[in-house]
Amino acid sequence: MQNDLHEANRLSWNAATAAHNSHKGDQGAFFRNGGSTLYPEEIELLGDLAGLDLLHLQCNSGQDSLSLARLGANVTGVDISDEAIAFATRLSSESGIAATFERADLFHWFEGARARGAVFDRVFASYGTICWLSDLGPWARGIASVLKPGGRFAFIEFHPFAMVFDETWTPRYDYAPREPISEAGVGDYVAASGTGLAPDGYEQGVVDFRNPHPSFEFNWGIADVVQALINAGLKVECLKEYPYANGWVGFEAMRDSGGGRMLPPETMPSVPLMYAIAAAKPDATTQVSAGKRSEANIRPYRAEDRDRLVDIWLSASRVGHPFLGEERLLAQLGMVRDTYLPMADNWVAEVDGRPAGFIGLIDRFIGGLFVDPEIHGAGIGRGLIEHAAARLGHLDVGVYADNASAVEFYRRRGFVETSRQETDDEGLPFAVIHMARPS
Ligand X SMILES: C[S@@+](CC[C@H](N)C(=O)[O-])C[C@H]1O[C@@H](n2cnc3c(N)ncnc32)[C@H](O)[C@@H]1O
The residues of the shown chain that bind ligand X, judged by CB under 6 A, are: 6, 9, 13, 58-60, 63-64, 79-81, 84, 105-106, 126-129, 132-133
Are the C-beta atoms of residues 6 and 140 closer than 8 Å to each other? Answer: no
Shorter beta-carbon distance to ligand X: residue 3 or 405: 3
282 Rama class: left (phi>0) / alpha (psi -120 to 50) / beta: beta
Are the C-beta atoms of residues 276 and 240 closer than 8 Å to each other? Answer: yes
Shorter beta-carbon distance to ligand X: residue 8 or 436: 8
Shorter beta-carbon distance to ligand X: residue 64 or 350: 64
d(CA 135, CA 243): 27
Instruction: For residue 33, count CB atoms less than 10 angstroms from its CB and return exposed for 0-12, middle for 13-18, buried for 19 or more.
Output: exposed
Smallest separation, CB 85 to ligand X (Å): 9
Shorter beta-carbon distance to ligand X: residue 228 or 288: 228
- Report helix angle 82-95 to 63-70, nearest 10: 40
Shorter beta-carbon distance to ligand X: residue 134 or 317: 134
Smallest separation, CB 113 to ligand X (Å): 13
Smallest separation, CB 175 to ligand X (Å): 21
Are the C-beta atoms of residues 369 and 279 closer than 8 Å to each other? Answer: no
Between strands 365-371 and 395-400, the pairing is parallel
Smallest separation, CB 124 to ligand X (Å): 9
Smallest separation, CB 67 to ligand X (Å): 9
Shorter beta-carbon distance to ligand X: residue 133 or 206: 133
Smallest separation, CB 152 to ligand X (Å): 18
Residue nearest to ligand X (CB): 128
Smallest separation, CB 258 to ligand X (Å): 21
Smallest separation, CB 106 to ligand X (Å): 4
Q: Which amino acid is at 221?
A: G
What is the spatial order of strands in the sheet that 416-421 belongs to? 287-290, 294-300, 345-351, 354-362, 365-371, 395-400, 432-437, 416-421
Instruction: For residue 194, count CB atoms less than 10 angstroms from its CB and return exposed for 0-12, middle for 13-18, buried for 19 or more.
Output: middle
How many CB atoms are closer than 10 A to CB 247?
22
Furthest CA-CA distance within the chain: 75
SS3 165: strand
Between strands 74-79 and 100-103, the pairing is parallel
Nearest to 123 by CA among 100, 101, 83, 151: 151
Smallest separation, CB 282 to ligand X (Å): 27
Nearest to 395 by CA among 334, 336, 347: 347
